[in-house]
Amino acid sequence: MPRLSSSAFFSAMPVFRRPEFAAACGRDPGDRAVTELLKYHLRAGNIRRIARGVFATAGAIDRFLAASRLRIGAVIAYRSALELHGCAVTPTSEVQLIAWGEPGLVRAGDFTCRFVSFPNHRSPGEAVTAMDRNGLAVSVTTLERTLVDLFDRYDLAGGAEDLFRSLDIVVEREVALDIEALLEFAQRLDNATAAAALGYWLDCVRHRLGVTAAAVQALRALAPRHIRYGLGATPGHGRVATGWNVILPIDAVERYFDD
Look at residues 35, 159, 4 and name the one whose alpha carbon lies nearest to residue 90.
Answer: 159
Is the per-residue pLDDT at 75 higher than 90? Answer: yes
Q: CA of 181: how far to CAs of 101, 142, 148, 178, 222, in Å?
A: 28, 10, 10, 5, 15
The least confident of 26-30, 57-61, 146-150 is 57-61
Residue 3: the pLDDT is 55
pLDDT tens per residue across span 159-179: 999 999 999 999 999 899 999
Amino acid at 62: D
Across all residues in the chain, what is the average pLDDT?
Answer: 91
Residue 110: the pLDDT is 81
Q: Are 67 and 99 in contact (CB under 8 A)?
A: no
Residue 109: the pLDDT is 76
Amino acid at 22: A
Residue 89: the pLDDT is 87
pLDDT tens per residue across span 174-213: 899 999 999 999 998 889 999 999 999 999 999 999 999 9
Whether the model pTM is above 0.95: no
Domain spans, the chain: 6-57, 63-141, 174-254
Residue 154: the pLDDT is 94
Average pLDDT value for residue range 9-24:
93
Confidence of residue 124 (pLDDT cuts 50, 70, 90): low
Q: Alpha-carbon dihedral of residues 141, 145, 149, 151, nearest 10 degrees?
A: 140
Average pLDDT value for residue range 65-69:
95
Confidence of residue 123 (pLDDT cuts 50, 70, 90): low
Q: Are 149 and 238 in contact (CB under 8 A)?
A: no
**Do the bridges between strand 246-248 and strand 228-229 make them parallel or antiparallel, or are there none, so unpaired?**
parallel
**Residue 116's beta-bridge partner residues?**
98
Q: What is the Cα–Cα distance from 109 to 61, expressed in whole angstroms?
A: 9
Residue 56: the pLDDT is 93
Q: What percent of the chain has pLDDT over 90?
A: 75
Q: What is the Cα–Cα distance from 229 to 247, expressed in whole angstroms?
A: 5
Is the per-residue pLDDT at 125 higher than 80? Answer: no
Is the per-residue pLDDT at 2 higher than 60? Answer: no
**Which of the pair, 118 or 227, is modelled with greater confidence?**
227
Nearest-5° angle of CA 142, CA 129, CA 20? 140
Q: What is the Cα–Cα distance from 187 to 190, expressed in whole angstroms?
A: 7
Residue 1: the pLDDT is 44
Look at residues 207, 208, 203, 200 and name the one whose alpha carbon lies nearest to residue 246.
Answer: 200
User: Hey, is 47 helix, strand or coil?
Assistant: strand
Q: Say if residue 223 is exposed, middle or buried (CB neighbours under 10 Å; 0-12, 13-18, 19+).
A: buried
